[in-house]
Amino acid sequence: MNIYDSLLGAVHNEYDVLMLIKKSERGEVSLVRHRDSGTRYIFRHFYGNSEVYQKLLNVSCPNLPQIMEVGEKDGKTALLEEYVQGDTLSEILEGGLLTTAESKQIARQLCSALWVFHSMGMVHRDVKPDNVIIRGKEAVLIDFDASRIYKSTIQEDTQILGTTGFAAPEQYGLSQSDGRADIYALGVLLNIMLIGEHPSRKLAGGRMGRIVQRCTMVNPAKRYKNILHLMEVL
């Protein structure tokens, strides 16, 4: 029996499904609890390859959920990941804007998560408030279903995925997205944390506004050269 089948069997026989978090044509995401230990996990089951999740197996970063098990079969992926308890950044922003210090701290922690991605040749491609959970004082970047591995041999993304408003222009088939697409999305997110507006409508003032402006340049070559550079500037 392969990992995919054994994982499906284990979830069916050893876990209780507490809640269906998300369901789409592509698959579903559930909150499950192990019957013996009581530990809660996120279970993802979707059409698509597992290569990003496979690379993140056994990677430990406080700003990313731990991936516990991954299996793939016939174009479908099943996986168990750490359940990150906290409020999404979306929920927090419903209560009001963040201070400059809070926004910078969250942005720096997301840079740390994205550095893990980028150093392994991967792009997240869906950095947005719904995909950031605030656990205590830690920002945790979740949901890697739109993520991909950068391939130097192709010219553009094979699949257009991402969220309108946060997705960089190159994610719409103009060229292949790389780590600079995540820098674009993080710039948009930073502006929303600070003033509640997309930078195309209104830009934050002062130095933070200049950082956002550079992050969100249409031409990727004019953005920060990498996520570590942005982290240093912040």
Helical axes 100-119 vs 179-195, angle rounded to 10°: 170
CA distance 44 to 143: 10
Q: Where are the beta strands (DSSP E) in the chain?
A: 15-23, 27-34, 40-47, 67-73, 76-82, 87-88, 122-123, 132-135, 138-141, 148-149
| CA dist 218 → 128, 147, 152, 155 (Å) | 18, 21, 21, 17
Q: What share of the chain is helix, strand, coil (3-state, %, to 5)?
A: 40, 25, 40
* Residue 69, phi then psi, degrees to nearest 5: -150, 140
* Set 16, 74, 87, 126: catalytic member: 126
83 Cβ partners below 8 Å, 6+ apart? 31, 40, 41, 42, 65
CA distance 6 to 71: 9
Query: Does the active-site annotation cover 74?
Result: no
Tokens at 50, concatenated: 């597992």
User: Count of CB atoms within 10 A of residue 28's CB?
Assistant: 13
List the catalytic residues: 126
